[in-house]
Structure 1
Amino acid sequence: MARVYATAEDYQTYSGQAPPADIAALLARATRMLESRVLRLCWYEVGSDGMPTAPVVADAIRDAVCAQVQWWGEVGDSIGGAGAGWGSVEIGSAKLSRSLVGVSGDDSPAREIAPQVWDALRSPDLTPDVFRLGEVST
């Protein structure tokens, strides 16, 4: 079973908002994204289930996942689809344009790491004996 670092209750506590109907899928997607883009480059102890063993690390990663989901709610996109493919759009006097070079959605705000993720993972509570951001060792 895939790891998911936060629950709907965690999200509600973190954000102060009722979770969206698809919260389980969003938390799983945020977990996968942060594992591939951030956590795989960090050092911390894990148990046999792959979950962090230090409570302070588990709490920080939980908050980071919740922050990413909250970010997606703010930008209105969780998969990068809104960032794919349009050159220019006009609605009344509003005009938006974007280069058609980025058609994959990877340049979408949904694929950015939320600023609050970095806040959670740079907490002074994460001392080097339990968590190292950007350091991989064997």
Structure 2
Amino acid sequence: MIKNIINGSLCITYCRTCVLLRTFAKSTDTIGIASLGKSKKKLGKIGPMVEKKVLPVETDPHKLANFVCGSNLMKEGCDIPIKPDSEYPDWLWSLNTGKPLPLEELEPDSKLYWRRLRKMALRNNSAKKKLKPF
């Protein structure tokens, strides 16, 4: 149920959930909504907005070259030192760090080949579904 009360230059609209106040000024119109005691915090899409923390960036070249910066999660202690290459396993140096290999270069007997093939088929099917009107 909506009720309008016009009082000179102020128009008040009553509704179940809110009260709409409109003032009629000569130069500009302003509208305000009274929330009848609901939350006064500024809310985002998910919940209350939280300010982002600015993390310090390490600029010391000696520390960057000799330690894994950011590996220490505790308040006290130090970051993990980088060891010589001989102390790491051999398979670590053969990992692909660039772009993924194309499907033609993968072995058809490998699990990665079939996963990539399935992913490509799912993307192709979803693209076809988007083209259909109904």
Normalising by structure 2, we get a TM-score of 0.23
> Greater share of helix residues, 1 or 2?
1
> Greater share of strand residues, 1 or 2?
2
Higher RCO (CA < 8 A, seq sep 6+) = 1
